[in-house]
Structure 1
Amino acid sequence: MTTFKNRIKLLKYPGWTVFGLAFCNLVVEGGAKNAESVFYLALKNGFKAGATVTSLIFSIGGLMGAIASPLLGKYLDKYGPKKFFAVAGIVILLGWQLSSFSTHMWQLYIFYSFIAAIGHTSVSSFTAMATLSPWFPNTRGTVLGLADSGNPFGQAIFTPLAQILVLSMSWKWAFRIMGLAFFILVFPTNLIFQKPIPKSTESLIVNREREKPFKPYFVKSVWCMVGARGFLSISNQMIRLHILAFFVLSGYGQMQAATAIGLIGMLSVVGRPTIGFLSDKYGREPMFTMGISLQIISICILIFTNDMNNIIPIMMFVLFSGLTDGIGGLILSAKAGDIYPAVQLGRILGFVEIGRGIGIAVGPILGGILFDLKGDYLLAFSVAIVLSGLSIISIWLISVVDKYNHREVQSTF
């Protein structure tokens, strides 16, 4: 009877409500970002534009995210998750609906690359991890991994859905329908059910001792995290935005390619919590190294396979990519939760998100430029491999460069 009561009490723990909301937010972020490969091709064909010009829509969005993320992290800490995410839902709705009425490419640079991008960044992994991490201090990697599986879940649902809507209706109606769906997932749920971040003993102590605003850019280990996030994000975005176009150039139909991308998302639903659990058990750096190494292998399979009609290389790419997709941000967020006070996670992860924003800004346009120069994706994907290797080096430097302790953070107050 006591065991049963304990289980009921565990299920009533408010952290699980926050977990569910973080999952929904990441479904939206994953759906929005991964559907970009579908919209990239649709916009490129619709406006009859080049790869570089079309990629610029998503690159500017990444730049806006990089610029805004430290400020968004500050607002999350200041106003709390309920108000923060409710406003984010409204911004997402405005960005997608206004984008659907664009008649010229430059209008998308405003409505999507600026407005919608701010909304996407507001519900991205760094805000989800900042709100969820304090609720589960002893199983941080596992719980963050489970919540982060919302991202590939959104990918699995919205990437094929976007392709269906584009082919059956138009890219404009796809924007309208998906924007409304994203709004419903974010705005009412967070407004009604969201909880304030718990104030731990450590957080209260840090607050009492604080004399100045926290400055994450004075902490060397934070810069290592920015580097790891940035290098990996550039690599991932070079692949992510152009992978559908790569498959189509290789002879696959658009629906087949979108389905393959959706399968990667489905596998990642299993891969992220598994990697999160293993990082709790075996350490953040070893699991980061293993996961990113598998991603490098998956890219090599693509660029060194000449016979694209052979199903085995594609299956291996989907398998390796799916099991490790998105683990970089997950492990880095868990690492930040391990070594920084909960009260500052919004600011710290917001600053680290600069790396991801730079990746989203640089990756698509760099991939487009290299494709326009060479006419294929060999050079672009090779550069992505090198950048992934640099991200592995960066995460190991966190401990080597800084051997973090509480005095380092408190010296920045």
Structure 2
Amino acid sequence: MTTIEAPTTQARVADRWPMLQEAPTGPLTRLTAAAAATLFRAATKRLGISVSEDGSPADIVLHRPEELYARLSRHGLIGLGEAYLTGAWDAPELGETLTVLCRDLDGLLPRWAQRLRGVYERRRGEKDLNTPENAREHIGHHYDLSNDFFALFLDPTMSYSAGLFSSLPSTEDLALAQHRKIDRILDEAGVGAGSRLLEIGTGWGELALRAAARGAQVTSVTLSVEQAELARRRIGAAGLGHRVDVELCDYRAVEGTYDAVVSVEMIEAVGERFWPVYFAKIDEVLAPGGTAVIQAITMPHGRMLATRNTETWITKYIFPGGLLPSTEAITDVVDAHTRLRVRSRLSFGAHYAETLRRWDIALREHADEVRALGFDETFLRMWHFYLEYTRAGFAADYIDVQQVTFTRD
């Protein structure tokens, strides 16, 4: 497997990645960094995570401990991720180490330190809101990186969401797990010959393809130019262009009436302020007797309330404007703003952990091809950290993924 090297120098990283400017310095930073070092050592020792500062084998190997502690002291968990991006530390088994941390995320800091979060946590501003103008930019930031890049680590279905395996652990082909996930959504929504189906969030077209193969007439909307282009090509190559219309369109602008509405891992990019609008649109376009199914990554309600207004490493580097809902939030919104009612839920977070594990392995195996596309070592480290950080969340049951089926009173 091709390794992902640490960037050559911190200065070079800061030059190409302005968000990774030089680590904070100064008298105050030295004081807070010393406190961060004490808390870091105490937490890792309590959790049984070995730490090395001399290059000897350990769960966490610190190359520039002063930088790590400085970033931790000023930016908390964002600083932990940023220190990984700059190469200040490494972990031979990153996902496993992050899983141990994630299982105790609420207890990593003593209560007195948790009360100081307001000192370093950044509040989210207007640019983080997924208004129609901001939403296109936010979606483009992630999904318009390069179709060739995503093809390097996704399975042939180009599905960028959790697969549903027949059982775990599994050696099953990921494409089969993706088709099982899609087929369950279409079955729950009652999609068959003659169905009018709306898909909010096209991805790269696999769900639309499978729905059209059933004889459905599909309208699929997306804000990603790259995804729309490839989805149209794939649909045309399958000879199903007469059954699928892929539109570059915000979900808020959708019109018409549909027998079924499906949306796979799209709600995470909607934002709390617009959840009522999102579900109201589904309610508005759903025909009498219709069914809606969404697949959503969820988090505990208390954690959602605690973090909904603060910037995280994920929102800063991967999904600007994103927020994971809780199951309670989804239920409260649909009850208050729509005629929709939850009929059933399927929870399969462990399946997402396995999906992410496979994506990360594939990405590292194709690291040279990623470099050939023009991406640098910091980008590779960012994606390795993102995939393993997210996998840890699912492996630790800190976050979940659910298929939620709605009918309308």
Q: TM-score, normalised by structure 1?
A: 0.25
Higher helix residue share: 1
Larger radius of gyration: 2
RCO (CA 8 Å, sep 6+): is it higher in 1 or 2? 1
Considering fraction of residues, name the structure with more strand. 2
